[in-house]
Amino acid sequence: MISIQHLSKSYTSKEEIVVGVDDVSLEIQGGEMFGVVGYSGAGKSTLLRCMNILERPTSGKVTVDGIDLMSLSSKELREARQSIGMIFQGFHLAMSKTVVENVSFALKASGVGRIERKERAEELLNLVGLSDKANHYPAQLSGGQKQRVSIARALANNPKVLLCDEATSALDPNTTQSILQLLKKINHELGLTIVLITHEMEVVKEICHRCAVMEDGKVIEEGNTYDIFAAPKHQVTQKFIQTVLDFTIPEVLLEKCKGTIVKMKFTGESAEEAVVSDLLQEHNIRGNILHGKVDYIQEQPLGTFVMELTGDEHEVRQALQSLHTTLAEVEVLKDGRSVGSIMA
């Protein structure tokens, strides 16, 4: 659906050339929800704006639904953009127009008749749950309601792609959840390809099938969202994952515990099996859970537990070896003598 090949975007100032996007290649499949995550200045918003040529790339190729956008004339590009909806962090609504007029405006610009515009706008407001706000003005709406109007407007011309630039970063957590569920509903019911730019890994975890992590204009890691969470490879990705799955154990607790403290990551089927309880019985050792959580990413379980193991030293070592061969990751935080790690 969206093919980005060796795309770069640079800006020339009086003193230097600033690179916003640096040789990025991505393939985004039709009907998927794809997240691009990165810290401020990573280049993710510039990349998104290059996807519909709001920012013209310095080099590279952007193909959407088989059309090479870089090769189009200005008129052809305007027509192609009708199949690419876009929503922004700042909503970008016309404050002097009612909700239904804001949604209708995109249809009017496309030459749709008045009666058909009204019917389509009402249909979209029903889809986003704002039928009762049709004649309100943006100033009368909450932030979440304004974003729903923006989404309805972006869907007006039946786009095949929806680009979302930090669509939830200005919203509170509860409102963010409602907008994410709406985007999930739109993806499922309309089959839209959705590209979501964000600096919040929680957003990616919630709805994205696949994701890419950016730093300094480059994609440093890309893959299935579950795989990225289960085994992040780059240090920046690991920091992002920590914001969602943080299992930092206070030093004072480590000092108090006398046994071996181990952090275990359970993926796939192992997250649903009684791996630890079976192990404790087999080796006749005791386990004290210090921290634990199971998250569901794309409906697949991902568990992380921190446990103190006590008992015969030889049996504890045997248990650790068994864990090492069974689980995705085993890290010894403290064994009474040293700190080390065992990675699968």
CATH of residue 320's domain is 3.30.70.260
**What pLDDT was estimated at residue 343?**
35
Q: Quick one: average pLDDT of 146-165?
A: 94
Last residue of a domain, one of 186, 211, 243: 243
CATH of residue 69's domain is 3.40.50.300
Last residue of a domain, one of 187, 219, 243: 243
Task: Provide the 8-state DSSP code for 74.
Answer: H
Last residue of a domain, one of 201, 219, 243: 243
Q: What does the block give as tokens for 84? A: 């690419």
pTM assigned to the model: 0.87
Phi-psi region of 9 (alpha: psi -120 to 50; beta: other; left: phi over 0): beta
Strand order in the sheet with 286-297: 286-297, 300-310, 260-267, 329-334, 342-343
The Cα 302–Cα 329 span in angstroms is: 12
**What pLDDT was estimated at residue 13?**
79
Which of 70-74, 107-111, 296-300 is the least confident region?
A: 107-111
Whether residue 274 is predicted with pLDDT greater than 90 in this model: the reply is no
8 A C-beta contact, residue 8 and residue 57: yes
**What pLDDT was estimated at residue 340?**
40
Condensed to tens digits (0 to 9), the pLDDT of residues 235-262 reads 999 999 988 887 777 787 777 888 899 9
Condensed to tens digits (0 to 9), the pLDDT of residues 176-235 reads 999 999 999 999 999 999 999 999 999 999 999 999 999 999 999 999 999 999 889 999
Burial class of residue 4, CB neighbours in 10 A (0-12, 13-18, 19+): buried
* Same-domain check for residues 194 and 328: no
**What pLDDT was estimated at residue 190?**
92
* Same-domain check for residues 39 and 178: yes
**What pLDDT was estimated at residue 289?**
85
Q: Quick one: average pLDDT of 158-175?
A: 91
**What pLDDT was estimated at residue 339?**
38
* Same-domain check for residues 192 and 274: no
8 A C-beta contact, residue 322 and residue 343: no
The Cα 314–Cα 65 span in angstroms is: 60
* Same-domain check for residues 69 and 164: yes
Q: What does the block give as tokens for 50? A: 């290059």
The total domain count for the chain is 2
**What pLDDT was estimated at residue 98?**
94
Q: CA-based angle 326:237:297, to the nearest 5?
A: 55
Condensed to tens digits (0 to 9), the pLDDT of residues 51-101 reads 999 999 999 999 999 999 999 999 999 889 989 999 988 888 999 999 999
**What pLDDT was estimated at residue 271?**
61
**What pLDDT was estimated at residue 242?**
87
**What pLDDT was estimated at residue 254?**
76
Within 13 Å of residue 236, how many CA atoms lie on the same side as its CB? 17
Pick 23 or 118 by higher pLDDT.
23
The Cα 1–Cα 67 span in angstroms is: 9
Place of tokens 């080390």: 340
**What pLDDT was estimated at residue 336?**
54
Q: Would you place residue 149 in the very low, low, confident or very high pLDDT band (cuts 50, 70, 90)?
A: very high
**The domain containing residue 93 runs over which residues?**
2-243
Q: Would you place residue 49 in the very low, low, confident or very high pLDDT band (cuts 50, 70, 90)?
A: very high
The residues, ordered by sequence, that sit 6+ positions from 73 with a Cβ below 8 Å of its Cβ are none
* Same-domain check for residues 272 and 201: no
Whether residue 342 is predicted with pLDDT greater than 80 in this model: the reply is no
Q: What does the block give as tokens for 159? A: 């786009």
Pick 9 or 329 by higher pLDDT.
9
**What pLDDT was estimated at residue 73?**
93
Q: What does the block give as tokens for 164? A: 């979302």
* Same-domain check for residues 237 and 268: no
